[in-house]
Amino acid sequence: MRVAERFTRRYDSLLGALQEELLNSTALMQQLSDQFGWVTRLANLTQGTDGALRVTTVLSKAPNPSDPSAPPDTQVTVQLFDSEPLSLTVPGHIPWDDPKFMEMVAEQALRHYKENAIE
């Protein structure tokens, strides 16, 4: 009988430790989902699509009246995946044909998408 009680206590102890580990793991998984769930949604949206980032409009803004010699900023309207169209501004010193231009547009659009997905 003592051996059975000892094994029962040991079993209960191991079961309690396992339950605690599972609760900690579940809490960690929830925290990661809250923080990085937008990545999963983004990955699901990219499967089978023709393009993730669609540029719909590129317009040069009017020159700044206080400094007419400065190049005017560029207004870009893009749509990233399933989001609403988003208007972004690229500084005028970056020409449209510079790879930095599209890099900046994509970076701003992704940052905005991520902020909205977390909310």
**Tokens 């929830």 identify what position?**
30
> Is pLDDT of 19 > 90?
yes
Mean pLDDT of 88-109: 88
Could you read off the pLDDT of 24-61 as tens digits, one per residue?
999 999 998 888 887 777 667 666 555 677 787 787 77
What whole-number distance in Å separates Cα of residue 40 and Cα of residue 111?
15
Task: Give the chain's mean pLDDT.
Answer: 83
CA 83, distance to chain mean position in Å, is: 12
Domain segments of the chain as ranges: 1-35, 53-118
Could you read off the pLDDT of 79-94 as tens digits, one per residue?
877 778 888 989 888 8
**Would you state the structure tokens that stand for residue 68, as one six-digit string?**
């007419």
**Would you state the structure tokens that stand for residue 101, as one six-digit string?**
């231009």
Q: Please tell me the predicted confidence (pLDDT) of residue 23.
A: 94
Mean pLDDT of 9-34: 94
Element housing 108 (H / E): helix 99-118
